[in-house]
Amino acid sequence: MNSKQRLTIVSFLQFFVWGAWLITFGTYFFSNNMGTGAQIGAIFSTLALASIIMPALTGIIADKWINAERLYGVLHILYGVALFFVPQAKDADGLYYIIFAAMLCYMPTISLSNSISYTILKRENYDVVKVFPPIRVWGTIGFIVAMWVTNLSGSKATTDQFIIGGVAAILLGIYSFTLPKCPPPKSISKGTSLVEQLGLKAFKLFANYKMAAFFIFSMFLGAALQLTNMYGDTFLDDFRKIPEYGPDSFVVKYSTIILSISQVSETVFILAIPFFLKRFGIKKVMLFSMIAWVLRFGLFAYGNPADGLWMIILSCIVYGLAFDFFNISGSLFVETTTDQSIRSSAQGLFMMMTNGVGAFLGSIISGYVIDKYFTTAGGDRIWQDTWLAFAAYALVVAILFAIFFRHKHNPEDVAELKH
């Protein structure tokens, strides 16, 4: 088995171990009466906190002391062990600390898996730009397969989903020890300050109006990124409470499989990004993404398992555009507009503002808002009003972005990315 095939296995399992429970976590939480919307918001915020805290620290460790593939393996084994403790949690407070521990181990492995792939491919003289994307797409496939396994095995509202993820994570951790060695490059000199090691020099970009606006809007849109991960499966599963549909409805029984259309859509829209970037420019492409988020939430608001099923499916298709056109084009914007000396740090700042600060605020605030304004006295959630509120938020962000973000499209920027 060559290195490309081995890295494909790593990519597949990297996201399989997350997809096994992430989308169905809300259904597990609410169906077992473990707490309120605010509490699940707090639990989901641990993903954001871990994204802020861990990647830079593990990056320094891998750069100075430990082989990247070994650190990667240890983190996945610890993540798998943490998932085994989820069934022991009987309330939201206990669940919070277990998921937080799991996320502290898992979130840095996303960037580590990329670093390991880049190191091995470059060392074996592969064209990384050409070879890595087909490897990475198997990560999305792994996420989809995990969702299907969880749904078809009847595990989506049970502790079995965490056992599935935990076993796969430990197997991935053990497998990673057999990968080609990725020793520390020891490129961090003794004179390098902690500020430089943590990538904090990129914060000087906030002194530039355009970059400051970009990062602030990244934070605002980042608040929307986890909303359908948090509530999407719960929303579809709650149709079982409506006599007109009931627990035997196709949407209720196969909610996770339906939501997996979103991940399939991602793989398609990734391929469309170069065309749209060249034709419309980064600002318009990112604006398309924001409008797509409005459609994502708005279609959920009016969708149902009967005559509104097409809206639910279309919402899942639109998700690929909403997610990819912001995350990937935003990363390309950073790549083409920042100085090479802080480019990696700037990419880290972009991820921190979206998956860190933005996702944290979105998780916490959405949980509070749903509890206060969109939950009945009997504990049922008013999903249509919830999704419409989220759609209104995304629309306001899109309008403000169109007004305040100033960027002139230069097709040469896109051409440079090919070299």
Q: Is residue 330 part of a domain?
A: yes
Asked if residue 148 and residue 243 are part of one domain, the reply reads no
CB 54 within 8 A of CB 104: yes
pLDDT at 204: 79
Asked if residue 275 and residue 157 are part of one domain, the reply reads no
Give the Cα separation of 379 and 35 in Å (integer): 10
Q: Is residue 400 part of a domain?
A: yes
Distance of CA 377 to the CA centre of its chain: 33
Tens of pLDDT, residues 334-384:
767 777 666 656 766 787 888 888 888 998 999 899 999 999 888 889 999
Q: Is the pLDDT of residue 195 over 60?
A: no
pLDDT at 409: 59
pTM above 0.85, yes or no: no
Instruction: Quote the number of domains for the chain.
Output: 2
Asked if residue 266 and residue 143 are part of one domain, the reply reads no
Q: Last residue of some domain: 113, 148, 180? A: 180
Residue that wins the pLDDT comparison between 318 and 134: 318
Q: Is the pLDDT of residue 278 over 70?
A: yes
Q: What is the mean pLDDT of residues 236-257?
A: 91
Asked if residue 225 and residue 366 are part of one domain, the reply reads yes
Of the pLDDT bands very low, low, confident and very high (cuts 50, 70, 90), residue 418 is very low
Mean per-residue pLDDT of the chain: 86
Q: Is residue 190 part of a domain?
A: no
Of the pLDDT bands very low, low, confident and very high (cuts 50, 70, 90), residue 410 is low
Of the pLDDT bands very low, low, confident and very high (cuts 50, 70, 90), residue 247 is confident
Asked if residue 112 and residue 222 are part of one domain, the reply reads no
Q: Is residue 192 part of a domain?
A: no
Asked if residue 333 and residue 245 are part of one domain, the reply reads yes
pLDDT at 417: 45
Asked if residue 169 and residue 298 are part of one domain, the reply reads no
Burial class (CB in 10 A: 0-12, 13-18, 19+), 313: middle
Tens of pLDDT, residues 44-101:
999 989 988 887 677 667 667 888 889 999 999 999 999 999 999 988 999 999 999 9
Share of the chain above pLDDT 90, in %: 48
Q: Is residue 59 part of a domain?
A: yes
Domain containing 6 equals 1-180
Q: Is residue 68 part of a domain?
A: yes
Q: Is residue 188 part of a domain?
A: no
pLDDT at 62: 64
Tens of pLDDT, residues 208-232:
888 888 889 989 988 888 788 889 9
Asked if residue 223 and residue 142 are part of one domain, the reply reads no
Q: Is residue 13 part of a domain?
A: yes
Asked if residue 382 and residue 237 are part of one domain, the reply reads yes
Asked if residue 352 and residue 240 are part of one domain, the reply reads yes
Asked if residue 376 and residue 228 are part of one domain, the reply reads yes
Asked if residue 271 and residue 222 are part of one domain, the reply reads yes
CATH number of the domain enclosing 219: 1.20.1250.20
pLDDT at 276: 85
